[in-house]
Amino acid sequence: MAAEPLLQVAGLGKRFAGLVAVDDVSFTADRGEIVGLIGPNGAGKTTTFNLVSGRFAPSSGRIRLDGIDIVGLRPDRIVALGLARTFQGTRIFPGLSVEENLRIPLLARAGADERAAAERVREVLAFVGLAALRDSIGGSLAYAHQSLLGIGMALMRRPALLLLDEPFAGMNPAETRAAAAMVRRIRAEGISVLLVEHDVAAVMETCDRIVVLNQGRKIAEGTPGEIHRDPAVIEAYLGADVDA
């Protein structure tokens, strides 16, 4: 069993009303790995991300998490199997306090132990650096803090795999460095990470392995060094206007 990758995506495809958004994409993510998903605009990376997290149902292909087929499962089932995700920008419960935001993922699991929950809230608050804002209302937080809270919520149930949706969007270089450090700290906790991102430089620096999509298909896969030299990748980005 140990030989099997944590996440196996095989032959993934998605059609929206005749338009092929994702076409026969396969890749894996191993335990303890940070995998980046990049590609020019419209490459299908966000759709792939949404398929893997269970937001959309794929038109074809298989997705296995820890050996279990998760295609067609309800989001809460997928979460229970150890997959968590964040959303582009910030997505939190704006009317609830920071602490209550973090509590919801634990409450969602039946038979939650109150003391263990309080302990986990403290841990995660410290991990994402929001301990001082514990009682603030989520919607009143600054953008950066809201996005940290979003990550904190995803971490609450100690997922095996965390999917980050554009974690570096809208950040300046210093903030990007801090967020990248956070991603590596998450990995250090034993959580694998799959992230989709526009900022190619940040992905090159953060990820162990990179999957490049273009026009719905996988065009390259490898270490940052390999991707950097790959002519197909350079072609795809030059041909399709690199977006900043």
Partner 1 sequence: MIAQQLANGVVLGSIYALSALGFTLIFGAARVVNFAYGALLMLGGFATLLLTQSAGLGFFVALPLAMLIMAGAGVLVFYLVVRPVLGRGDLAVLLVTTGLLYILREGAIIVFGTEPRQIDMGVEGIVEIGDVVITNQRLVVIGCLVVLVGLLYVVLYRLRIGKALRAVAQNRAGAEAIGLNINRVTAFAFAVSGGLACAAGGLLGAIYAAEPDMGDLPLLKSFVIVIFGGLGSVPGAIVGGLAIGLIETLSGAYISFAFKDGFTFVVLIAVLLFRPTGLFSSRMT
Partner 2 sequence: MSRIAAAVVLAGLLLIPPALDSYQVYLLSLTLVWSLLALSMGLLVGFVGEINFGQAGFVGIAAYVSSLLRIDFGISFWLAAPVALAAVVLVAALIGVITLRLRGPFFVLVTLAFGEIVRIVLANWQDVTNGPIGLRGIAPPEGLFGIDFAGKLAFYYLALVVTVATSVALAVIVRSRTGRLLVALREDELLAAFVGVAVMRQKVIGLCISAVVAGLGGVLIGPLLSVISPGQFTIFASVDMLVMVIVGGVGTLSGPLIGAVFLVYVPEVVQFAHEYRPVLMGALLILATMFLPGGLVGLMRAMVARGGVRPSVGAGGVRGG
**Footprint of partner 1 on this chain (CB under 8 A)?**
16, 56-57
24, 56, 66, 87: which one contacts partner 2 (CB under 8 A)? Answer: 87
Among partner 1, partner 2, none, residue 71 binds (CB under 5-8 Å by kind): none
What is the full DSSP assignment across the chain? -TTS-SEEEEEEEEEETTEEEEEEEEEEE-TT-EEEEE-STTSSHHHHHHHHTTSS--SEEEEEETTEE-TT--HHHHHHTTEEE--SS----TTSBHHHHHHHHHHTSTT--HHHHHHHHHHHHHHHT-GGGTTSBGGGS-HHHHHHHHHHHHHTT--SEEEEESTTTT--HHHHHHHHHHHHHHHHTT-EEEEE-S-HHHHHHH-SEEEEEETTEEEEEE-HHHHHH-HHHHHHHHHT----
Question: Could you tell me the smallest distance in angstroms from the CB atom of residue 155 to partner 1?
Answer: 25
Binding partner of residue 184 among partner 2, partner 1, none, CB under 5 to 8 Å per kind? none
**Residue 57 interacts with which of partner 1, partner 2, none, CB < 5 to 8 Å by class:** partner 1
Q: Does 108 bind partner 2 (CB under 8 A)?
A: yes
Residues numbered 22 to 61 that lie near partner 2 (CB under 8 A) are: 53, 55
Is residue 153 close enough to count as binding partner 2 by CB under 8 A?
yes
Residue 14 or 45 with smaller CB distance to partner 1 = 14
Q: What, of partner 1, partner 2, none, does residue 85 touch, CB below 5 to 8 Å by kind? A: partner 2
